[in-house]
Structure 1
Amino acid sequence: MAYEGDRFNLSRKVFVGNISYRVSQKRLETFFSKFGEVEYCYVVKDHIKKWSKGIAFVTFASKEDVQKALAATEDDLNLYGRTMRVKPAEESKRVFYVEGWQQKTDLDKIESLESKDSENTDELKMVDNTTNGLSTIKVDDSSTVNINSLCDDTLILILSHLPVLDRLNAEKVCQRWRDVALRCWTYQKSLHFRNMFKRFEGLRDKLLSSLLHRCGVYLKQLDLSASPRLLTDIAVDVIAENCPALQKLDLSGVAVTDISLRNLGVKCTNLKWIALQKSFYVGDKGLSWFLQNCVNLEYLDVQGNAKIQGDLFHKCGPNLKTVILNECNKLKDFGVSKLCYRCKNLEEIQLSDCLSITDKCIRNLTQECKELRIFHLARIVPHGRIEPFW
């Protein structure tokens, strides 16, 4: 029985953080029974999805058992590979206690108790405290919480919302932050570099390699078109080595070569979408090597390529549905004919400013590609006016 002034048995209750999501309420109660008799154990869960939030409250039979739990070492608090943190339970500042209203159930009492690092707010603001080297989070207008007191899963959620470069800098704070930041990359499915660099800066091979070593194996989409000018063909080799599950890739403006494109096709066989706009060093040979391995490709964009003539299409797979060939000035009729015969399911093709093709290829397209829905064709006349043909 709690003494007067000890609301909700706080003197016999501890807060437990950084709990593995696999831990059940019964398992946690059994674990803490080694410190003394446990009267009640409650694992806090999401009210909607019923998932564990990684925190709990444990009520012991005596204050002595509480002291044993608070004095436990990290080895004593290790469960399922996580070192749990135990603190004295505190009454939440958001709970209002009205005299005379004391007939509350145990569940209501426990849910009204939270540790400071378990409070959830919609507005979290990172504040860099340069005086003591610690970072804090602003919880409300009157209090702040040391960010290092948060559990690992909360830190992962915070760091996952940071820009890519800031997340790399977070790894330099301390060993724990490095471990947590590295775990963030496992949730990275898409990566782009829009609005990331200043005017004279840009993405380089070394930085791209560092990023893909962390998250490449998890990536489904990668877009380099926003900052391609400082990248070399080494970047394509790095992508091939680190991104086996990649499905969508934009290499527009990157200095891709035939050899690097062949390596990409060998390693990234799951690609369904690729853009190679303004890839001036890629020819029919490199593209045919690539298409020979990427049989699941559905979208191909080689706009602005002045080298290809069309030999590449004898290697393309039957799943190809969209082909962008605008401004491919050396593209010949025989190349488009090969595309027609190989890709019966073609739905969209763009041939604007392909000045070397004739009406023969247009006839082949309309006769062979029965599924064709979008056909864009335009040419530049001497006066500079663009005339579309449909």
Structure 2
Amino acid sequence: MRREMNGVTKGRFEFLARKPIQQKNIWCWRDVKKSKTKMFSNNDEAVINKKLPKELLLRIFSFLDVVTLCRCAQVSRAWNVLALDGSNWQRIDLFDFQRDIEGRVVENISKRCGGFLRKLSLRGCLGVGDNALRIFAQNCRNIEVLNLNGCTKITDTTCTSLSKFCSKLRHLDLASCTSITNLSLKALSEGCPLLEQLNISWCDQVTKDGIQALVRGCGGLKALFLKGCTQLEDEALKYIGAHCPELVTLNLQTCLQITDDGLITICRGCHKLQSLCASGCSNITDAILNALGQNCPRLRILEVARCSQLTDVGFTTLAKNCHELEKMDLEECVQITDSTLIQLSIYCPRLQVLSLSHCELITDDGIRHLGNGACAHDRLEVIELDNCPLITDASLEHLKSCHSLERIELYDCQQITRAGIKRLRTHLPNIKVHAYFAPVTPPPSVGGSRQRFCRCCIIL
């Protein structure tokens, strides 16, 4: 039985991808006008084709995704011509077909789309390897956005092909492509000077030498995702800080060797920084928060979960200088107290998402200040207070005025009660409350030796 992919069988999808674009099938509006009578015979012409100009139909088709185009191609000969017009195949996302996509499909699509294709996602397509992407790179030289996240078969050879043929590439996602090494970054540096966004998360063979080569040729980088690149040291960040003044987003999650020295260089060299993730970088201290406050006033997102050396002193400096903060992840920043919340309530009126999970020194008084702060009434959407043992129902009372609040996390807050949550819901009926209350322990059985099972065991 043929497997169907959102209404299009695998065989049909491959056939349509394989069907080449002839020059006569590459239409512009002028070409369509000239070819009206040739394209639509009397037997083939439906009401919609009579009512709508062919150039308008082509324009409509340009907004359809790949699945819908494949469906339309099966309606009639006329629609087949329009649907398979190369200009409609500028953006293709094959994530939904990831189990079925093999190298030959990518090769055929590249031959069909040619220079039209601007954006392609092969995220999770495990069957695609270097050879298919070499042919793709040769055929699709105008590609600007390419997502190869999780394509574990690809190696440095793919990046060499992209470097050779795809000089217009701007966004490249190589996350979890674990065979990628410094050679890939060197190749991209030499052949893709317009690169603005690169994701090499979990490519743990990359070292400072690869980063050095990359930034020397791609100085216009705006977003760099290095999550899980465990070999990176401060030296790599110094290269980034020296060569990437346009950097807006940097993710260093679980880059365990990073210290204050490297991140301070980033702050001093990348004044446009808006998003920084340093979660799991347990060596960093308040010096980073001071450097961010002094150099990066546009900062909107800061994620420093599990950075246990950060304190109220550093967050005070940060809050006083970074007034555009919208999202903060402070999970397991175990030294912070209500003092940090007071500063955020005063200086950060745009705060929307705040995680305080496992911040065990936070009390109701800190939440009171936050609930009365500038962000409370119209901005705050998510607050995570799970595993904050000093939080009580009083905190929920303080949050009633947060009219935009959509979600609150209260797992393992032992002093929170069902009654407190119920009162909060009366003021914020649409809020999602995530909490857990242990079931009441049943009284011990009196007499009798009959074996008993809990209800869930009976269901199972």
Normalising by structure 1, report the TM-score. 0.56
Q: Is the 8 A contact 2:26 2:85 kept in 1?
A: no
Q: In structure 1, what is the Cα distance between the partners aligned to 2:219 and 2:208?
A: 17
Equivalent in 172, 175, 179 of residue 222 of structure 1: 172
Q: Is the 8 A contact 2:293 2:321 kept in 1?
A: yes
The 3 A distance-change label for structure 1 pair 55 and 242 is farther
Equivalent in 261, 269, 278 of residue 316 of structure 1: 269
The 3 A distance-change label for structure 1 pair 123 and 345 is closer
Equivalent in 25, 31, 50 of residue 53 of structure 1: 31
Q: Is the 8 A contact 2:148 2:172 kept in 1?
A: no
Identity of aligned residues (%): 19
Q: Is the 8 A contact 1:261 1:290 kept in 2?
A: yes
Instruction: Give a deviation string over 1:117-155, Cα, whole Å, max 9, x none.
Output: xxx997648xxxxxxxxxxx8675xx899x9xx89x935
Amino acid at match of 2:107: N
Q: In structure 1, what is the Cα distance between the partners aligned to 2:211 and 2:164?
A: 20
Query: Does residue 46 of structure 2 align to residue 18 of structure 1?
Result: no
Determine the structure 2 residue equivalent to 1:210. Answer: 161
Give the drift of 1:322.
Answer: 1.3
Give the root-mean-square deviation of aligned CA atoms: 4.4
| Structure number, greater radius of gyration | 1
Q: In structure 2, what is the Cα distance between the partners aligned to 1:55 and 1:300?
A: 49
Q: Is the 8 A contact 2:293 2:317 kept in 1?
A: yes
Q: Secondary structure at the match of 2:220?
A: coil
The 3 A distance-change label for structure 1 pair 92 and 243 is farther
Q: In structure 1, what is the Cα distance between the partners aligned to 2:246 and 2:296?
A: 12
The 3 A distance-change label for structure 1 pair 144 and 292 is same
Determine the structure 2 residue equivalent to 1:192. Answer: 147
Q: Secondary structure at the match of 1:353?
A: coil
Equivalent in 166, 170, 184 of residue 235 of structure 1: 184
Q: In structure 2, what is the Cα distance between the partners aligned to 1:138 and 1:90?
A: 15
Alignment of 1:279-358 (within 5 A): 279-312=229-262, 313-314=264-265, 315-358=268-311
Give the drift of 1:232.
Answer: 1.4
Equivalent in 187, 190, 195 of residue 246 of structure 1: 195
Q: In structure 1, what is the Cα distance between the partners aligned to 2:298 and 2:25?
A: 52
Give the drift of 1:319.
Answer: 0.7
Q: In structure 2, what is the Cα distance between the partners aligned to 1:346 and 1:380?
A: 19
The 3 A distance-change label for structure 1 pair 161 and 55 is farther
Q: Secondary structure at the match of 1:323?
A: strand
Amino acid at match of 1:213: K
Determine the structure 1 residue equivalent to 2:222. Answer: 272
Q: In structure 2, what is the Cα distance between the partners aligned to 1:278 and 1:203?
A: 19
Q: In structure 2, what is the Cα distance between the partners aligned to 1:57 and 1:231?
A: 48
Q: In structure 2, what is the Cα distance between the partners aligned to 1:177 and 1:375?
A: 42
Q: In structure 1, what is the Cα distance between the partners aligned to 2:149 and 2:143?
A: 16
Q: Secondary structure at the match of 1:235?
A: helix
Q: Is the 8 A contact 1:156 1:183 kept in 2?
A: no
Moved more, 366-375 or 259-268: 366-375
Instruction: Give a deviation string over 1:299-322, Cα, whole Å, max 9, x none.
Output: 111011111112132343211111
Instruction: Give a deviation string over 1:349-374, Cα, whole Å, max 9, x none.
Output: 11110123333322221233233333
The 3 A distance-change label for structure 1 pair 340 and 20 is same
Give the drift of 1:339.
Answer: 2.5
Determine the structure 1 residue equivalent to 2:316. Answer: 363
Q: In structure 1, what is the Cα distance between the partners aligned to 2:39 and 2:255?
A: 67
Query: Does residue 107 of structure 2 align to residue 169 of structure 1?
Result: yes
Instruction: Give a deviation string over 1:253-286, Cα, whole Å, max 9, x none.
Output: 1132112112211211221111110111111111
Equivalences, count: 274
Amino acid at match of 1:387: H
Amino acid at match of 1:355: S
Q: Is the 8 A contact 2:215 2:244 kept in 1?
A: yes
Give the drift of 1:178.
Answer: 8.3
Q: Secondary structure at the match of 1:337?
A: helix
Q: In structure 2, what is the Cα distance between the partners aligned to 1:289 and 1:283?
A: 11
Determine the structure 2 residue equivalent to 1:258. Answer: 208
Instruction: Give a deviation string over 1:90-117, Cα, whole Å, max 9, x none.
Output: 9554259xxxxxxxxxxx9xx99xxxxx
Give the drift of 1:246.
Answer: 1.6
Q: Is the 8 A contact 2:331 2:358 kept in 1?
A: yes
Amino acid at match of 1:154: D
Q: In structure 1, what is the Cα distance between the partners aligned to 2:26 and 2:78?
A: 26
Moved more, 202-211 or 318-327: 202-211
Determine the structure 2 residue equivalent to 1:130. Answer: none
Q: In structure 2, what is the Cα distance between the partners aligned to 1:162 and 1:353?
A: 35
Q: In structure 2, what is the Cα distance between the partners aligned to 1:256 and 1:375?
A: 28
Q: In structure 1, what is the Cα distance between the partners aligned to 2:110 and 2:320?
A: 61
Q: In structure 2, what is the Cα distance between the partners aligned to 1:310 and 1:169?
A: 46
